[in-house]
């Protein structure tokens, strides 16, 4: 059984510690915990992992957030991964910092990465793991906020929340969407 796990973010050192790159951070932690490593490949940095008999293909698109649908589509086709085995990890301004929420479908919520995936795949029916980054910004400062670095208070619990996000993903690949949402959405 193959799964495509997409961490959303922007490539490059200047974005590595920003809120918008939490998807990258989660797939990097999953790869580390499962003793894998990333390689540079077509349209993404890729790690291939084994977990409880499952084949997990983790990608960090190199196309930048606004064009990540191209990378997602390519890797789904490359590995013949069905839509129901796709999970996208993304930042979410509508959730308080550190809150994790898995959903099986939904709108893009104004997120350019999700918007591009939705347009490219022509569906909103794919699983996403939303990582709350809060919304502590003044009107008109949304871009600066998501491209800003974590506060010192956020950094105190960030690693723990990232590790919990990896548990969501492992659960999803073993017991499926519904049980994962039931067991983990309120953690």
**Residues forming the active site:** 20
CA distance 74 to 150: 31
For residue 51, the number of C-alpha atoms closer than 13 Å in the C-beta half-sphere is: 26
**Widest Cα–Cα separation across the chain:** 47
From first CA to last CA, the distance across the chain in angstroms is 27
What are the distances in angstroms from CA 27 to CA 30, 80, 123, 172?
A: 5, 20, 23, 14
Helix (H) or strand (E) holding 170: helix 152-175
């Amino acid at each position: 059984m193959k799964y495509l796990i997409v961490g959303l973010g922007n490539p490059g050192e200047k974005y590595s510690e920003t809120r918008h790159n939490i998807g990258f951070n989660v797939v990097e932690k999953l790869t580390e915990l499962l003793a894998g490593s990333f390689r540079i490949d077509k349209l993404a940095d890729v790690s291939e992992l084994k977990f409880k008999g499952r084949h997990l293909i983790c990608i960090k698109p190199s196309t930048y957030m606004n064009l990540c649908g191209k990378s997602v589509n390519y890797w789904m086709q490359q590995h013949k991964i069905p839509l129901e085995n796709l999970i996208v990890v993304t930042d979410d301004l509508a959730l308080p910092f550190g809150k994790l929420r898995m959903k099986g479908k939904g709108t893009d919520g104004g997120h350019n990465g999700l918007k591009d995936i939705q347009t490219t795949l022509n569906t909103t029916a794919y699983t996403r793991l939303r990582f709350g980054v809060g919304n502590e910004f003044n009107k008109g400062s949304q871009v600066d906020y998501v491209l800003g670095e974590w506060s010192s208070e956020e950094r105190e619990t960030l690693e723990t929340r990232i590790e919990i996000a990896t548990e969501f993903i492992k659960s999803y690949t073993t017991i499926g969407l519904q049980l994962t949402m039931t067991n983990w959405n309120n953690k």
